[in-house]
Chain A
Amino acid sequence: MDVARIREDFPVLKRIINGHPLVYLDSACMSLKPLQVLAAMREYYEQYPACAGRSIHKLGEEASNAYSAARAKIADFINTAEPEECIWTRNATESLNMVASSVKLPKGSKIVTTTLEHHSGSLPFVERARRDGLKIEIIEAKDDGTFDIEDWKRVIDTNTSLISVVHSSNVTGTVAPMKEIVEIAHDRGALVMSDDAQYAPHHPLDVQDLDVDFSAISVHKMCGPTGVGVLYGKMDLLKSMDMFLVGGDTVADVRYVDGKIVPEYLPPPEKFEAGLQNYAGAIGAGAAADYLQSIGMHNIELHERNLLSFVLKSLKEMDNLTIFGTDDISIKTGLVAFMVSTVNTAHDVAGYLSDSYGVMLRSGAHCTHPYHYQMGIPPSKGTNRASVYLYNNRKDVEAFIEGLHALIEASS
């Protein structure tokens, strides 16, 4: 993988921040965007900025074709059985809410989730349980972000209807044993909602091989535009779900019979895509999937793991620093959370590295307050998170480590 060549695709990497070349280690929050994605979106706005699926003129036809092609590209990226199993959403959060709100769950059944979830992976299901009087049980992650598979066997019972589990944690980077969880869940008749917001951008994802029932993806984390997400669902489940949003584009017909308005809804994906869609965003998402696949997801995964090994080795050699998450690189996405003991809040670490070294990393509780509370860390103190992606190189890590050394010296 030619990282120097890849970096040319990301103009922002040429920026100088506070006198230092930009070192971007916050891709777990927001990935940078390559020229290819920007060009695809610009082409839509410049050449065929029309309504897809509505207008039959030439521009409308081109928009429809590009919109459909983008869906097919995303479907190929995660290997769905058919493109129509991919629903465009605003982000993974909306995808998770769509399932939590609309999937049919038996009365009195139980939802299972974990302490490691992003708030977007737990709260929609907490609220669904509250709405319908369902039970909800929480599996506690181990301190290193891994799970004891026996906990899953114990907690998932035949009354469990749905599991919401983060595939790759946005704070510890640990990858959940998804195949085992799916096997246990399906054996007991439960559905599995996989939060792939952090997994899909960094690893090859095959939803059919994993046999998950639903998967949520945020395109902004995979080199695509903001405000675009995807919900994958098995077609029979999508068909059986209640409507989420209704209105234009969701209907085959709306009749007026005996003083009543009678809708006849379209099948998925249109069933879930009410109103004018983010065509440019979807086209950008398709371009992002093309871009990542042209480099190869296995190559990206390997590159990140090599960099992560270097990060972890460097951090472990430092005093006054606690690392969170497992050491096992084989079950880890390219990110590491840590805490510096000489600084009272993680925000100051991020502020110092940005101000003094041009290093961008995340601070706070990363929308995973329950895990931070479990670890005894108040969200206001928080942790720092450095995350790597395909465009990062060893120099980035060296600048980050140099900045950390200086920070610890200045704050001790």
Chain B
Amino acid sequence: MLTSEILETAKQPEYVDLCADCAGGDAFIAAANQLASQGLIAKKFGKGGYRWHLVGAK
């Protein structure tokens, strides 16, 4: 998923309790980068921006 798609998804009502500071997205990016540094997810830059995926997922 693109960063923008994740941010849009995170704003949906079902994720409101999970996602703090989702209006600006800063907190999501910080958290995602932490997960990436732990090797749990990875990102690749391309058309439209970064695409994020679970490590090991196709």
* Shortest distance from the beta carbon of A348 to any chain B beta carbon, whole Å: 4
Contact B24 A380 (CB under 8 A): yes
Q: Is the CB of A345 within 8 A of B4?
A: yes
Known: A351-B29, A380-B4, A380-B7. A343 touches B24 (CB 8 A): no
How many residues belonging to B are interface residues under a CB distance threshold of 8 Å? 21
Query: For chain A, which range describes its interface: under 10, 10 to 19, 20 to 34, or 35 or more residues?
Result: 20 to 34
Instruction: Report the minimum CB–CB distance from A346 to chain B (whole Å).
Output: 9
Residues of A with C-beta under 8 A to B47: 342, 411-412
Are A347 and B48 also in contact (CB < 8 A) when A369-B23, A379-B23, A380-B11 are?
Answer: no
Given contacts A345-B4, A379-B24, contact A410 B50 (CB under 8 A): no
- A-contacting residues, B30-56, CB 8 Å: 33, 43, 45-50
Are A411 and B48 touching (Cβ within 8 A)?
yes
Report whether B46 and A411 are in contact in the complex, using a CB–CB cutoff of 8 Å: yes
Which of A351, A352, A356, A381 has the most chain B CB atoms closer than 10 A to its own CB? A351
Classify the secondary structure of B's interface with A. Answer: mixed
Contact in complex: A344, B26 (CB < 8 Å): no
Complex Cα distance, B25 from A381, in Å, reads 8
Complex CA gap A67/B10 in Å reads: 47
Q: How far is the CA of A345 from the CA of B35 in the complex (A)?
A: 19
Q: CB-CB contacts of A368-389 with B at 8 A, as 1s and 0s?
A: 0100000000011110000000
B49 touches A343 (CB 8 A): yes
Contact B48 A381 (CB under 8 A): no
**Given the complex, which residues of A lie within 8 Å of B2, measured CB to CB?**
344-345
B-side residues, CB < 8 A to A, are: 2-5, 7-8, 11, 22-26, 29, 33, 43, 45-50
Could you tell me which A residues sit within 8 Å of B by CB distance? 342-345, 347-349, 351-352, 355-356, 364-365, 369, 379-382, 407, 410-412
